[in-house]
C-alpha cells in the first residue's frame, strides 16, 4: 500500500501552473456502482487540485471524463452513445479534452474500438489508475500525444488521494477492492483484479477525518465486504470502527451469501451505529442456476441466512439483487426465484435482465434465453416485488423511525427527505435546520417507493 508518490505531486503542480490565470472547468459522468461513484469523487478531488472547477450545466467544459462500467450491456452502450455525441462538442470547442476510464476500458477489445471509431477521445485508462491522471493530462497538454493505456489491473492501493465528496452528510469508504469469486456471468474479477484490503488504520483515519468534517453516515464498500482481511476480518473491523470512530451510522455493501457469518449478523444486532439493513444478493432462487452461476450457496442456505437475520434482528431491512434469464433458466427455476421472494419478503430488490458479458463462461453458453421470455419473467418479478415492497411499507404506518435528513425535496423546499436505518426513503415536512440531523419521524402514509411522515422531535 503506497502513499501518493512524490512525482505525482509534481504533475499536479505542473498542470495547475499551466491552468493558472485561466478558468478551466470539468465534468464527470459516472456509470455503474458505488465503487465508481467513489472513484469519481477522487478524480474530482485531483482535478480541483489541478485548478479545474466544476462546470455549470450550460457550458462545454474544458475536460470531460466518463467513468465507465461494463457490468451490464446497456451501461456500455450508453458510453459509446454519449461518446458519439461528444464529437460534435469537440467540433465546437477544439480544446475540449475527452477522457475515459474505469471497468469498460479494462476489457479486451475496447481500446481497439476507441482507436478505430472514437479518435476524438484523448485519454483512456482502466481501473485503479486515476492517481496517474495528472501525469496523463500533463503529457497530453505538453506534447499533444494521446494517452491510451489498457494495462493489466494494478493491484496496489494508493492512499492519500484528494476526494471531492458529493455529500457532506454521507460518504462512501472503500475497505477493499477487487473480487476472487468469478461468478460465471460477471466481469468484475477480470476488470478490477483480485481482492485486496485496505489497512484498518487507513480506514479508521478516513472515517475520523469525515467525522471531523461533519459526516454522519459512512457506507463501507467492497465487491465482497465479508472477505475483508487485514489483520482481522470484516466483523472485527465493524467493532473497531464502533470503538474508535464517533460516526453516527455505518452501512456496508456488498455481502456475499457464501461468506456471511452469524458473527456478522450478531454485530448488526450489537452495534447501535450499524444500521439494521442487510443487502444480500440472491441472483437466483434456483439451486441449479446458483450452481451454474458459481455462487457457492443454494436456495436453502440463502433462506436459512435470511431467517437467522430476521430472528436476531427482527426490525432488519432486507434488500437484494436478482438476475432474470440466466442461460438455461427454466420456468421452474424462475418459480424458485419467486418463491424466495415471497419467503424472504425483501423491502427492496434490484432486478436485472441477464446480459452476455465478454470473457465470462455464461456468455458462451448455447442455451441463452430469448428476449421475450426474459421480458415476461422480468415483468412478473417486478410486479411481485412491488406488491411485497408496498405491503411492507404499509406495515410501517403509525410507527416511528429514525431518519437521517439528507436535504430538501427538489420539487418542494418545505419537504425534507432522508432515509431510515432500513434504507427506506422518508419524506416529511420540516425546517431546513434539520438537514444533517437524525430525527424521529412518525409514518403517516406509504407508497411503493417512499414513505411519508411527520416530525416534531430531534433525537
Ligand atoms: S461476487 Fe460475483 S457478482 Fe459479485 S463482483 Fe464478484 S464475481 Fe461479480
Q: In the chain, pLDDT over 90 holds for what percent of residues? A: 85
Mean pLDDT calculated for residue range 434-439 = 96
Q: How far is CA 272 from CA 27, 218, 241, 244, in A?
A: 38, 14, 12, 14
How many Cα atoms sit within 13 Å of 74 on the Cβ side? 3
Q: Are 99 and 83 in contact (CB under 8 A)?
A: no
421 contacts 275 by C-beta, under 8 angstroms: yes
Q: CATH 3.30.750.210 in the chain: give the residue spans.
A: 167-275
Cβ atoms 35, 23 nearer than 8 A: no
pLDDT surpassing 60 at residue 458: no
Q: How far is CA 134 from CA 41, 52, 89, 123, 292, in A?
A: 15, 12, 23, 11, 43
Q: Residue 413: pLDDT above 90? A: no
Cβ of 226 closer than 6 Å to ligand 1, yes or no, is no
What is the pTM assigned to this prediction?
0.93
Closest Cα partner for 129 from 108, 102, 147, 109? 102
What was the pLDDT predicted at 206?
A: 97
Q: Is the pLDDT of residue 398 over 60?
A: yes
Between the CA of 408 and the centroid of ligand 1 the distance, in Å, is 35
Q: Indicate the average pLDDT of the chain.
A: 94
Q: The CATH number of 400-458 is which of 3.40.50.970, 3.40.50.11540, 2.40.50.140, 3.90.330.10? A: 2.40.50.140
Distance from Cα 373 to the centre of ligand 1, integer Å: 25
3-state secondary structure of 426: strand
Could you identify the residue written with the cell 430538501?
408
CATH 3.40.50.12160 residue window(s) in the chain: 2-148
Ligand 1: which of 34, 70, 180, 224 to mutate, judged by most atoms within 8 Å of the beta carbon? 224
pLDDT at 6: 52
The fold for domain 280-392 equals Transcription Regulator spoIIAA (3.30.750)
For 364, the grid coordinates are: 458462451
Instruction: Assess contact for 282 and 345: CB atoms under 8 A.
Output: no
Mean pLDDT confidence for 404-430: 94
In the three-class reduction of DSSP (H, G, I as helix; E, B as strand; rest coil), residue 112 is classed as: helix
Q: Which residue has the cell 442461460?
A: 327
Burial state string for 113-129 with b = 16 or more CB within 10 A and e = fewer than 16: ebeeebebbbbbbbbbb
Q: What pLDDT is stored for residue 97 in this prediction?
A: 97
401 near 423, Cβ under 8 Å?
no
pLDDT at 3 over 50: no
- Which residue matches cell numbers 469525515? 210
Q: Is the pLDDT of residue 338 over 70?
A: yes
> 30 pLDDT exceeds 60?
yes
Q: Which atom of ligand 1 is nearest to the CA of 192?
A: 5
Collapsing DSSP states into helix, strand and coil, what is residue 276? coil
Does pLDDT of 1 surpass 50? no
% of residues, the chain, pLDDT over 70: 98
224 close to ligand 1 (CB < 6 Angstrom): yes
Q: With respect to CATH, is domain 167-275 assigned 3.40.50.1820?
A: no
Pocket flag, ligand 1, residue 181 (CB < 6 Å): yes
pLDDT tens digits for range 170-181: 999 999 999 999
Better-scored residue on pLDDT, 304 or 76? 304
Residue 2, pLDDT > 50, answer no
On the question of pLDDT at 459 being above 60, the answer is no
CATH number for domain 2-148, candidates 3.40.109.10, 3.40.50.720, 3.40.30.10, 3.40.50.12160:
3.40.50.12160
Q: What is the pLDDT of residues 212-260, one digit of tens each?
A: 999 999 999 999 999 999 999 999 999 999 999 999 999 999 999 999 9
Amino acid at each position: 500500500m503506497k502513499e501518493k508518490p512524490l512525482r505525482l505531486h509534481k504533475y499536479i503542480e505542473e498542470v495547475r501552473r499551466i491552468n493558472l490565470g485561466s478558468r478551466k472547468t470539468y465534468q464527470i459522468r459516472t456509470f455503474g456502482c458505488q465503487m465508481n461513484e467513489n472513484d469519481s469523487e477522487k478524480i474530482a478531488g485531483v482535478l480541483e487540485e489541478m485548478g479545474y472547477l466544476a462546470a455549470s450545466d450550460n457550458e462545454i467544459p474544458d475536460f470531460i471524463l466518463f467513468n465507465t462500467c461494463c457490468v451490464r450491456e446497456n451501461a456500455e452502450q450508453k458510453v459509446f452513445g454519449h461518446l458519439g455525441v461528444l464529437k460534435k462538442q469537440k467540433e465546437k470547442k477544439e480544446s475540449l479534452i475527452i477522457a475515459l476510464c474505469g471497468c469498460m476500458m479494462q476489457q479486451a477489445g475496447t481500446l481497439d474500438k476507441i482507436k478505430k471509431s472514437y479518435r476524438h477521445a484523448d485519454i483512456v485508462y482502466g481501473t485503479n489508475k486515476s492517481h496517474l491522471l495528472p501525469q496523463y493530462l500533463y503529457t497530453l497538454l505538453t506534447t499533444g500525444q494521446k494517452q491510451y493505456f489498457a494495462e493489466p489491473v494494478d493491484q496496489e492501493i494508493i492512499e492519500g488521494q484528494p476526494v471531492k465528496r458529493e455529500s457532506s452528510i454521507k460518504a462512501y469508504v472503500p475497505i477493499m477492492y477487487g473480487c476472487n469469486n468469478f461468478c460465471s456471468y460477471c466481469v468484475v474479477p477480470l476488470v478490477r483484479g483480485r481482492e485486496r484490503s485496505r489497512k484498518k488504520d487507513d480506514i479508521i483515519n478516513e472515517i475520523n477525518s469525515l467525522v471531523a468534517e461533519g459526516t454522519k453516515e459512512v457506507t463501507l464498500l467492497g465487491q465482497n465486504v465479508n472477505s475483508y482481511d487485514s489483520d482481522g476480518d470484516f466483523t472485527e473491523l465493524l467493532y473497531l470502527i464502533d470503538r474508535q470512530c464517533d460516526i453516527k451510522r455505518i452501512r456496508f455493501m456488498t455481502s456475499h451469501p457464501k461468506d456471511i457469518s452469524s458473527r456478522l449478523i450478531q454485530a448488526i444486532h450489537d452495534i447501535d451505529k450499524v444500521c439494521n439493513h442487510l443487502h444480500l444478493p440472491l441472483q437466483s432462487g434456483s439451486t441449479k442456476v446458483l450452481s451454474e452461476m458459481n455462487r457457492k450457496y443454494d436456495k436453502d442456505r440463502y433462506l436459512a441466512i435470511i431467517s437467522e437475520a430476521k430472528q436476531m434482528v427482527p426490525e432488519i431491512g432486507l434488500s437484494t439483487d436478482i438476475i432474470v434469464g440466466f442461460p438455461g433458466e427454466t420456468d421452474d427455476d424462475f418459480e424458485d426465484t419467486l418463491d424466495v421472494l415471497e419467503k424472504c419478503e425483501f423491502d427492496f430488490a434490484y432486478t436485472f435482465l441477464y446480459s452476455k458479458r465478454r470473457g465470462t463462461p455464461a456468455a458462451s453458453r448455447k442455451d441463452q434465453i430469448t428476449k421475450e421470455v426474459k421480458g415476461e419473467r422480468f415483468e412478473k418479478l417486478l410486479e411481485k416485488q412491488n406488491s411485497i415492497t408496498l405491503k411492507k411499507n404499509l406495515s410501517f404506518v403509525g410507527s416511528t423511525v429514525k431518519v437521517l435528513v439528507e436535504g430538501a425535496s427538489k420539487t418542494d423546499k418545505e419537504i425534507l427527505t432522508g432515509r431510515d436505518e432500513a434504507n427506506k426513503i422518508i419524506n416529511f415536512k420540516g425546517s431546513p435546520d434539520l438537514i444533517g440531523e437524525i430525527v424521529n419521524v412518525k409514518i403517516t402514509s406509504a407508497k411503493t417507493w417512499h414513505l411519508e411522515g411527520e416530525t416534531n422531535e430531534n433525537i
